Structure 1
C-alpha cells in the first residue's frame, strides 16, 4: 500500500498563508515510474536543495523533516524517495532497472522538473552516503545545472572505504575481546561483501561504537514515521525497499571509485564529515577530497557526529548550510570564489 501523505502549509503567527511559500507532495513520473517527491520552502525565491539519501534504499525524509526543517527557511527543499525505496517502492519494479545509470537518469528528470516548477536554472545537491556517489556522478555530468555540491559520509574509492570499515570493527572487537563479534566478523571475512555480510559488518560497527540499541531503533522508528508526511502504513515498504535496493545494487555501487570516475567537479564543493564515521571512514573521504579538482572546495568537520551529521549535530548542520552553502548558491557563477579553508 502506498501512502502519499500530506504536508502542512507555511503559516504566519496568526495562521495566515505565507506568500511565495511552497508545500506540496505528489508522485512524479521519473524514468517511466511514479516516484514520491515533496517540495517545501518558505520562499520559492530561495535556491532549490535536492536531498539524495543513502543506502541504497533508505528513505531519510523523516530524519530531515524532524532534525533539519530549518533548512526550509534558506532553501526550497526537495525530498525524494528514490526508485525502489520508501514511498516509491513497488513490488513490480524490475531488478534490471536498479542501476547507477538509471538513477542518474531519474535524477536528471527530477532536476529538470524541479527547475521548471520553481523557475530556476540550478539546484544545490546534498548527497549522503550512497547519495554522495549519486550526487558527485550527476554533478560531474551536468555541472551547468548544479550551483553547489555538499556531501556527507562522502564516498571516494568505495571498495577501499569498505576495507577500512571492516578493519576498524574487527580491531574494536579484538580490543574489547568481544568473542561473539569476533566470531561473526571472522565468519564473513574481509570485503568484498554481499548485502547480507554487509549488514552484519555494519551492525557490529554500530554496536561496538555504542550507537545501536533497542532505544535507538525505537527513536528512529518514531522519527521516520512521525509527522503528517509519513504513516505506520509506510513501514512495510520502508523495509522491503531497503532490502530490495541493497540486494539489487550493492554489487555495482560497492565497486564505484570516484577518484577515477569524477576527479574533477566544475562547481563549489563542500564535505561535511563526521569525525566518528566508521561506515564511510574519514580516510576514504579525505583521499577523495584531496584528489578532487574543483573551483572551490571546503572541508567541514562535525566532531560529535558519526555517519549522519545532519542527525547528530542538526543545529550546526542547518546553520552551516545557510551560512556557507546558500551564499554560494545565490551568487552569480562567475563570482563563486575559491575557499580552501577547513572549518
Structure 2
C-alpha cells in the first residue's frame, strides 16, 4: 500500500501561497521503479539540496522535517526515499537491483530531473551514514553536477568503523557489567560480521545510546510516523526496509573503502562529525578526511552529537548549512 502523504504549502502573512515556492510530493520513476520524492522550498531560485538518507533502508525524512525545515527557506530541498526504503519499498523490486551501482544510477536520474526542472547547473548533496557513501561516490563520478558535498556519520572504510564500533560497545557492556550484552557480543565475536550478527551489535548500541542521542525510542517513533507526510500505514514497509534492503546489500557494503575508491573529490567538501558517534566511529571519519584531496575541505565537530548531528544539534547544523555551505554552493553554481 502506497501512502503518498501531503505537505503544507508556503504562505504569506495573508495566507496566500507564495508564488515562488514549491511544496509537493510525488512518485518519480527512477531506475525503472517509482520512488517517493518530496520537494520543498520557499523560493525555487534558491540552490538545490538533495538529502541522502542512511541505512540503506533507513528513512530520515521526518527527522529532517522536524529539526531542519529551516533549510527550506534557503534551499530547494529534495527529500528522496531511496529504492527499498519505506514509501519506496516495492516487493516486486528484484533483490538484484539493490546494488551501489543502481543507487548511483537512481541518484543521477534524480539529479538530472531537478536540474532540468529548476534550471540549475548543479546541486548540493548531503549524505548521512550509508548516504555518505552514495554522495561521495556520486560526487567522484559526476563532479560537474555537484556544487558541494556535506557528510555526517561519514563513512571512509566500512570494515574499519565496524571494528571500532564493536570494540566500543563491548567495552561499554563490560563497563556497565551488562551480562546479557556481554554474552551476546562475545558470541558474535569481532567483525567481519554476518548480517544478523551486525543486527545484534547495533541492538546494543541503540540500547545503550539510542538511535538519536538524548532521544527516547518512543519519541523517535512518534517523529518518524508523525506529520502529514508520514502515516502509521508506513510502518510495515519501514520495518521491511530495515532488514530486507541492508541484508541484500550487506556483503557489498562491507567491502566499501572510500579511501581507495574516492581519494580525490573535485568539489568543496564539508564533514560535520558527531564527537560521540558510536556507529560510524568518529576516528574512521577523520581518517578519510585526512587523506581526502579536494579543492577545499572543512571538518567541524559537533560536540554534543552522536550519529545524527542534524537532529541532535539542529540549530548549529542549520546555521552552518546556511552561513558556511550555501555561499560555497552559490559560488560553485555561478
Q: What TM-score results when the alignment is normalised by the length of structure 1?
A: 0.95
Task: Name 2:63's counterpart in structure 1.
Answer: 63
Task: Name 1:259's counterpart in structure 2.
Answer: 259
1:19-98 mapped onto 2 (5 Å cutoff): 19-98=19-98
Task: Name 1:294's counterpart in structure 2.
Answer: 294
Task: Name 1:329's counterpart in structure 2.
Answer: 329
- Indicate whether 1:134 and 2:125 are aligned: no
Q: Secondary structure at the match of 2:310?
A: helix
2:132, 2:332 → 1: CA distance? Answer: 25
1:209-228 mapped onto 2 (5 Å cutoff): 209=209, 216-228=216-228
Task: Name 1:337's counterpart in structure 2.
Answer: none
Conserved? CA contact 2:39–2:77, under 8 Å? yes
- Indicate whether 1:308 and 2:301 are aligned: no
Q: Report the alpha carbon displacement of residue 332 of structure 1 after superposing the two structures with TM.
A: 4.1
Task: Name 2:16's counterpart in structure 1.
Answer: 16
Conserved? CA contact 2:212–2:307, under 8 Å? no
Q: What TM-score results when the alignment is normalised by the length of structure 2?
A: 0.97
CA-to-aligned-CA distance 1:57-89 (integer Å, 9 cap, x gap): 011001101111001011100000000111000
Task: Name 1:111's counterpart in structure 2.
Answer: 111
Q: Report the alpha carbon displacement of residue 217 of structure 1 after superposing the two structures with TM.
A: 2.1
Q: Report the alpha carbon displacement of residue 100 of structure 1 after superposing the two structures with TM.
A: 0.3
Task: Name 2:173's counterpart in structure 1.
Answer: 173
Q: Report the alpha carbon displacement of residue 211 of structure 1 after superposing the two structures with TM.
A: 6.2
2:298, 2:188 → 1: CA distance? Answer: 37
Q: Secondary structure at the match of 2:51?
A: strand
2:332, 2:204 → 1: CA distance? Answer: 46
Q: Report the alpha carbon displacement of residue 55 of structure 1 after superposing the two structures with TM.
A: 0.5
2:185, 2:110 → 1: CA distance? Answer: 40
- Number of positions where the alignment pairs a residue of Structure 1 with one of Structure 2: 333
**Unaligned regions of 5+ residues in structure 1, if any?**
335-343
1:159-198 mapped onto 2 (5 Å cutoff): 159-198=159-198
Task: Name 1:320's counterpart in structure 2.
Answer: 320
CA-to-aligned-CA distance 1:78-128 (integer Å, 9 cap, x gap): 000000111000111110000000000000000000111111110000000
Task: Name 1:338's counterpart in structure 2.
Answer: none
Q: Secondary structure at the match of 1:331?
A: helix
Relative to structure 1, the CA distance from residue 240 to residue 211 in structure 2 (aligned partners, 3 Å threshold; closer, same or farther) is closer
Relative to structure 1, the CA distance from residue 272 to residue 332 in structure 2 (aligned partners, 3 Å threshold; closer, same or farther) is closer
CA-to-aligned-CA distance 1:232-267 (integer Å, 9 cap, x gap): 111111111121111111111121000000000000
CA-to-aligned-CA distance 1:27-81 (integer Å, 9 cap, x gap): 0100011000000000011110000000010110011011110010111000000
2:74, 2:6 → 1: CA distance? Answer: 22
**Unaligned regions of 5+ residues in structure 2, if any?**
none
Q: Report the alpha carbon displacement of residue 280 of structure 1 after superposing the two structures with TM.
A: 0.3
Q: Secondary structure at the match of 2:247?
A: helix
